[in-house]
Amino acid sequence: MNSSEQILLRLIRESLFNIDAELPDSVDWDEVFQTAQDQAVLGLISSKYIKEVPSEWKSKWYQIVIFCERVLQAQQELVQLLAAHGIPSAILKGSAAAIYYPWPSLRTMGDVDIIVPQKFFDSAEELMKNSGYAVMESEETIYNRTTAFAKQGIIYELHHHFSYRDINIEPYIANGFSQIQTKEINGASFPMFDPVLNGLILLVHMRSHLKSGMGLRQMIDWMMYVDKVLDDKEWEEKFKKLAETLNLQTLAINATRMCQIFLGLSERITWCREADDSLCMRLMDMLLSTGNFGNKLGAGRGVEAVTSAFRRMGIIRYLQVRGEDHWEIYRNHRWLRPLCWVYQIGRYFRQGIAAKRGSKLFDDLHRSKERSDVLKKLHIKT
């Protein structure tokens, strides 16, 4: 962990929990703010430090607040549109995570993720198409989880389910629509699931992205949920058995303890005391090295993901599965199935992965091995 990363963690603790950052006399604010941007936590640097930084960063800090307001209003318009046509919905992540922050507007917002019961999905999709929302293609669309839309610079992911291939929480989500709660941030209201299900979604989301590259923002979402909701009583009575059932207990315990060690989460939460502190340290190193959704890995991100999967599945099997997922022509011409692995090789060459050479490839392999070991200890299959 370099000095800028250490300073960023101190600033986050101060912003979220009012713990004095105790900064050194000299701070490279450009590097600190760049690190914060890589982690999508730029807004969590307290406004009292904004005067210290170049105008470029001041502008980006204020843009986070402005964009949050835009997202909240746009999200409310969509929710109201769906409700007017009898379609229930719930917001996933985003404002459903920001609600736990002391200043929700300072959480960096991304897409609007919204889920509707599966029986309403086709109607919701058609309604959005007819209401000025332009259909986009995304990886989630490829996996048949969502339809992506764009309108006035904001991306929307319309979900009909939220589970991943190796973890199924659909029964909980289906039941969750009967217990929707309405919350409000800065005057903009939105529907969200009850606290237990909302926390489960944040944990499952974090688990999924740990495989491909996850940064501080997703971990802080979980931390603020724990701080506001998941005290010892709630854990024992409502969440622990659920986490055990879904094999998420080890991740929840170690992620929470890591937040206590590095991010200022209160020690009053004791249900995470059985965590492995050395594993927590490795987990933090992993988060800092990857950035938000792995963006710090750049081109190497692809190599790391591929090499990890090669070890897990075998090269040909991995190429075949990925080819079946991504080759659009194959979906309409199933007879091409034996050639999917060849298509995937060509796809990686186009992405530049095959151009990786020498020490960089070695570094990617080493990082992939470290991540694989951390995930194994967290009981996350890779």
Q: Give the residue extent of every domain in the chain.
A: 3-53, 82-193, 196-287, 298-377
The one-character DSSP state at 238 is: I
User: Amino acid identity, residue 103?
Assistant: W
Phi-psi region of 94 (alpha: psi -120 to 50; beta: other; left: phi over 0): left
* CA dist list (Å): 148 to 141, 143, 151: 7, 12, 10
Token pair in block for residue 320:
């075949």
Which structure tokens are listed for 366?
């080493």
Q: Is 147 left (phi over 0), alpha (psi -120 to 50) or beta?
A: beta
Residues in the chain: 382
Which pTM value belongs to this model?
0.81
**How do the pLDDT tens digits run along the chain, 382 residues long?**
799 999 999 999 999 999 999 888 888 888 998 899 989 999 898 777 877 777 788 888 888 889 999 999 999 999 999 999 999 999 999 999 999 999 998 899 989 999 999 999 999 999 999 999 999 875 555 445 689 999 999 999 999 988 887 888 999 999 999 999 999 999 999 999 999 999 999 999 999 888 767 789 999 999 999 999 999 999 999 999 999 999 999 999 999 999 999 999 999 999 999 999 999 999 999 888 877 665 555 444 444 455 555 555 566 777 787 788 878 888 788 888 888 888 888 876 776 555 444 444 445 545 566 777 888 898 887 6
Question: CA nearest 110: which of 144, 75, 77?
Answer: 75
- CA 191-194-197 angle, to 5 degrees, is 115
Q: Judge whether 285 and 1 are in contact, CB under 8 Å.
A: yes
CB distance 136 to 148 below 8 Å: yes
Residue reference for tokens 């990686």: 348
CA distances from 113 to 313, 325, 360 (A): 31, 22, 35
Contacts of residue 310, defined as CB under 8 A and 6 or more positions apart, other chains included, come to 318
Closest CA to 226 of 248, 257, 250, 205: 257
92: enclosing H helix or E strand: strand 90-92
Residue indicated by tokens 């982690």: 39
Report the C-alpha gap between 305 and 284 in whole angstroms: 19
- In the numeric block, which tokens belong to residue 27? 């701070």
Q: What is the DSSP string of 263-290?
A: H---TT--TTTTS-HHHHHHHHHHHHHH
DSSP code, position 179? G
Please give the CATH topology (third level) of the domain spanning 82-193. Beta Polymerase; domain 2 (3.30.460)
